[in-house]
Amino acid sequence: MKGMSPKEKRAYICRYYWHYFLIGGIILGLVILLIYHLTLGNQKPVFQCVAVNQEIDLNRDSKVSADFADYLGVKADRVVFDSDYLISYDDVQIPEANESSYEKFFLNWHVHELDAMIIQESFYEYCQRQSGEFSETVELSDQSVLDKLGLRKPEDEKLLLCIPSDAKHPEEGKKFIEYISE
């Protein structure tokens, strides 16, 4: 490299050492991505509510999540309202139900991920027989509340909003009750 002009030195380095620059760039990119993921990218929800045995409607779920997130003053992706829980139990048999919804529901409840659940009274009793405990239970009988959440009330039994006694975010559960009551 002695006796080369600066332009020739740059050309020589780029020609014979380009792969080291590429590997270094890839490693730097991975480090930046890892730092982002660990600090900002993997934020847990501040509130999670599930609606059991209701029509699965992702657009409604997104709207309720966004509206309640606005009410709480947090980003919309930090609030989860999910109706993808069709569960058969006891004498209630739902043709579209599968075991994964049942397992997902009880696993999320067991690891304290559920802050609120909207369930039928018979499922409430079933959960209690499974050692489920609730700190608060509110009957959803007002049609304006059901319309706000986009839910349907079963003809032959009550629809309940329940806050599990072991919820991670019980204060947000109480705020959800306030939100639907407005």
Given a cut of 80, whether residue 157 has pLDDT beyond it is yes
CA distances to 22, 32, 38, 77, 151 from 41, rounded to whole Å, are: 25, 12, 6, 11, 32
Is residue 72 classed exposed, middle or buried when 0-12, 13-18 and 19+ CB atoms within 10 A define those classes?
Answer: middle
pLDDT at 47: 93
pLDDT band at 13 (very low <50, low <70, confident <90, very high): confident
The DSSP symbol for 161 reads E
pLDDT in tens, 71-101: 999 988 899 999 988 888 888 788 887 778 8
pLDDT in tens, 99-153: 788 888 888 888 989 999 999 999 999 999 988 899 999 998 888 888 889 888 8
CA distance 91 to 82: 24
CA distance 94 to 85: 11
Given a cut of 80, whether residue 165 has pLDDT beyond it is yes
pLDDT in tens, 14-67: 888 888 989 999 999 999 998 888 887 777 889 999 999 888 899 999 999 999
